[in-house]
Structure 1
Amino acid sequence: MRRPRVRSLASTAALVAVLLALPARVAASGDAPVRVGGAAFPAWQDAGGAHLRLQGAGLFRWGWFVKVYAAAHYLDASAPGAPPEADVARRLEIACLVNVSAAELARATEKLLARAHGPEVMRSLGDRLARLRAAYVGLKPGDRYALTYTPGRGTELSLNGRPLARVEGADFARAFFSIWLGSRPVDGGLRDALLGAGAGPAVRARSRG
């Protein structure tokens, strides 16, 4: 009688392992808000005179169990399907799920940008990147950072709806958004989720670590 029980436990363990290895994917439904990692993201937002449509959202984990943040990517509704490098209005909203210091954010930004771009690009960002990093403040669960790019106006960093800094240049926006949307992102699965890979905007939880 014990052998079937052993096989049953083994089968259950194998199923759990498979489920953990697969990124969860839930399609957005019409204009309803999308929820991921306990954070809700509206289907539409307005910024800088542009009407922005949710493209996708994802959950960034460290390892299997530590949920670090939920993120959502919005794109100008008049430019559907525009690639990440296009000079169009877009927003990345990040809902923090853990405590993160301003120093940790600054170090992560520097590391990820340096990994994605060469020394020449980093030099071109120079003082502009320093200004943005200087505006960072520590985050606690429930806080939301938003990066909003408006052509001709630049990239605005805001915390819980309060503007912190604005940095000029389409080149700066391309470089900074590439941390999540570029060819060498913080996580490939999260990038695909934010870009709404597949049929329509989607939510995709992805593990890292």
Structure 2
Amino acid sequence: MKKQILTLLLVAFTGIFSANAQQTVSGVKVDSKLTVEGETLLLNGAGIREKMWIDLYVGSLYLTAKSSNAKDIMDSKGAAAMKLDIVSGMISSEKMISAVNEGFEKSTNKNTAPLKAKIDKFKSFFKDEIKKGDTFIIANIPGEGVVVLKNGVKKGTIDGHDFKKALFGIWLGAKPADDDLKDGMLGK
């Protein structure tokens, strides 16, 4: 009987610890949950954005329910968030804006004209100095739009599902910023 009770307690404690467990990617502790604008989201997956073998940032994808289907995630109008933890001092405002430009070009198959004003507004959220240790949260909030926060401070909101789909396509589309990061975010 004691053995059964001990086994049950062990299973219960293991379940509690694994439910609250954090994962570490490139030295960044990735939380299992994220709350943005009142929406609580679950970690879907995380990975590292690399360029020439240099870790640039840890990207984490949070959803209401786990999914490994990139198209469904991009098409969804539900709450979702990407968290970017900057791990390199090599990322500057100019480099981030350039990467965003390239990402939208790939995500939209070079058809950025219909989204130009929204893309320009999004890029303005990265104009301030970016330092190692900064955190960006890019969240789709139903009824509000895409909300961007830097280090917990709201930079602004951009409405439109077309924009959200193109934006998430930067990381999850057919030509993602980084294939390994995409796989990591999709929990693969």
Provide TM-score, normalisation by structure 2: 0.82
* Alignment of 1:50 onto 2:39: yes
Q: Which has the higher contact order (CA 8 A, sep 6+)?
A: 1
Which structure would you say has the larger Rg? 1
d(CA) in 2 for partners of 1:138, 1:171: 28
C-alpha displacement of 1:193: 0.8
C-alpha displacement of 1:144: 0.6
**Is contact 1:84-1:178 (8 Å) kept?**
no
**Is contact 1:151-1:170 (8 Å) kept?**
no
Task: Name the counterpart of 1:135.
Answer: 125
C-alpha displacement of 1:119: 4.1
Task: Name the counterpart of 2:99.
Answer: 108
Letter paired with 2:24? R
Alignment deviations for residues 118-137 of structure 1 (CA, whole Å, 9 cap, x no partner): 343x1111111111111212
Task: Name the counterpart of 2:58.
Answer: 70
Aligned residues: 166
* Alignment of 1:84 onto 2:42: no
Q: Identity percentage over the alignment?
A: 25
**Is contact 2:176-2:182 (8 Å) kept?**
yes
Provide TM-score, normalisation by structure 1: 0.74
Q: Structure 1 179/157 Cα, relative in aligned 2: closer, same or farther at 3 Å?
A: same
Q: Which runs of 5+ in 2 are unaligned?
A: 1-17
Deviating runs (4+, > 3 A) in structure 1? none
Task: Name the counterpart of 1:39.
Answer: 28
Task: Name the counterpart of 1:13.
Answer: none
Q: Mean alpha-carbon deviation: is it higher for 43-52 or for 151-160? A: 43-52
**Is contact 1:73-1:194 (8 Å) kept?**
yes
- 5 Å-filtered alignment, 1:127-206, equals 127-136=117-126, 137-197=128-188
Task: Please give the root-mean-square deviation of Cα atoms over the aligned residues, in Å.
Answer: 1.7
Letter paired with 1:176? L
C-alpha displacement of 1:170: 1.2
C-alpha displacement of 1:138: 2.4
Q: Which runs of 5+ in 1 are unaligned?
A: 1-28, 198-209
